[in-house]
Amino acid sequence: MKKYLKMVGNIFMYSIIYFVLQIAAIFAGSIFYAIKYAGKVPNEELVGKIQEGITQNTFIFVATAAIVTLVIYMLILRNKEENLWQRCKFEKLSVKQYIWIVLGLISLSFVSSNVVMSTQHLFKSYEQVSKSIAAGSASFLGAICVLILLPIFEEVLFRGLIFNELRKHINIIISVALQALIFGLFHGNMLQGIYTFFLGIILAIIYVWSKSIWAPIVGHIVYNIMGIIVFPRILNYSIKFATILIIPGVIASVGFMIPLYLQYKRSYEELSNVDASIQS
């Protein structure tokens, strides 16, 4: 029981640090814009200006919180005489692995983009999320944050720390599902939570298969680039066919998933054998 409480405590600690620092970053941003526009716009327009500034730079504030959080994680692990890079397994990947990951996540992003395009009218709250993503990624710095910096941090947090913490203590399949659930809930929106839940499962499987955090990092970056920049622009010209286009995307994704699952199964069996030998 003690080890499970420790596991939950560590996961809560990793999560709450990032959550609190996000709030702090947004709060600091609000103060900045309040000072910037104070006396320059009528009081009744001040709140709107603050909200506009925060919306346009949301990802910059969140990425700032992520960088500070990453430093704190490094200090916490150093205090435990551990290394963040070793914990997350920043190991080299082969060119073949990179190609496989890129092609697989492009197909997965294509499917999710079509699903979102076809179902977003059912999720009214997603409209604001969509606008925030578009506004936040409009600037070069905002795009760098949402397409590169945040995927790197999220993989360190959700796969490198939370997933590894889970699979040290419980069944790896349950660990994959739980970390994906936490990943989805962290996005705070129903539709976004659904597709990031499935994304979290795929990224965890890729992580186990490759034994390197670079694999889900690259996959996450590719997924975001295609899902935020590329596919929405393409699908705007073919929105009437979005539902139909899910079919070839699913076929491509299944073609990617079957070999990946077989590789994952081999890796899972290897891990199980190692655990069994340790216990004996």
> pLDDT tens digits for 29-71?
999 999 888 888 887 788 888 888 898 898 999 999 999 999 9
Enclosing domain of residue 89: 2-279
Q: How far is the C-alpha of 193 from the C-alpha of 184, rounded, in Å? A: 4
pLDDT tens digit string along 214-261? 999 999 999 999 989 988 777 666 555 555 555 565 665 566 666 666
- Tokens 């941003």 correspond to 29
Number of domains in the chain: 1
Which residues, including other chains, have CB under 8 Å from residue 210's CB and lie 6 or more apart?
A: 91, 93, 97, 101
CA 10 to chain centre: 19
Q: Dig out the tokens for 217 from the structure.
A: 């990092």
pLDDT of residue 118: 79
Q: How far is the C-alpha of 224 from the C-alpha of 38, rounded, in Å? A: 36
Q: What SS3 class is residue 112?
A: helix
pLDDT of residue 249: 57
pLDDT tens digit string along 144-195? 999 999 999 999 999 999 999 999 999 999 999 999 999 999 988 899 999 9
- Counting every residue written for the chain, the total comes to 280
pLDDT tens digit string along 97-148? 899 899 889 888 888 887 888 788 888 888 888 888 888 888 899 999 999 9
